[in-house]
Amino acid sequence: MKRNGLFVAALLAWLPIAVEIASAACPLPVKVEALDAAGRILDTGSGFVALDGRAVITAAHVVADAHSVRIETPDGIRRLARTADRDVRRDVAVLRLRGRGLSVEGNPQFRSAQRGDAVDTIGHIPTLGFVMFSNRVRATNIPSQMGPVIETEAPWVAGISGAPLVTPDCSVVGLASFGTNEPVPHYYAIPSVVITELLHED
194 within 8 A of 64, measured Cβ to Cβ: no
80-129 confidence digits (pLDDT tens) = 999 999 999 999 999 999 988 888 877 899 999 999 999 999 999 988 89
Q: Which amino acid is at 43?
A: D
- What span, in angstroms and rounded, lies between the C-alpha atoms of 200 and 19? 33
Q: Say how far apart CA 143 and CA 188 lie, in whole Å.
A: 11
CATH number for the domain spanning 51: value is 2.40.10.120
Number of domains in the chain: 1
User: pLDDT tens for residues 21-61?
Assistant: 444 568 999 999 999 999 999 999 999 999 989 999 999 99
Asked if residues 62 and 91 have their Cβ atoms less than 8 Å apart, the reply is no
pLDDT at 4: 43
What whole-number distance in Å separates Cα of residue 168 and Cα of residue 172?
Answer: 10
Q: Per residue in 168-201, pLDDT tens?
A: 999 999 999 998 776 777 899 999 999 999 998 6
Query: What DSSP assignment string belongs to 77-91?
Result: -EEEEEEEEEETTTT
3-state DSSP assignment of residue 147: coil
- Name the pTM for this structure: 0.87
- Write the single-letter amino acid at 21: I
Distance CA 62, CA 47 (A): 10
How far apart CA 139 and CA 29 sit, in angstroms, is 24
Domain membership of residue 124 as a residue range: 1-202
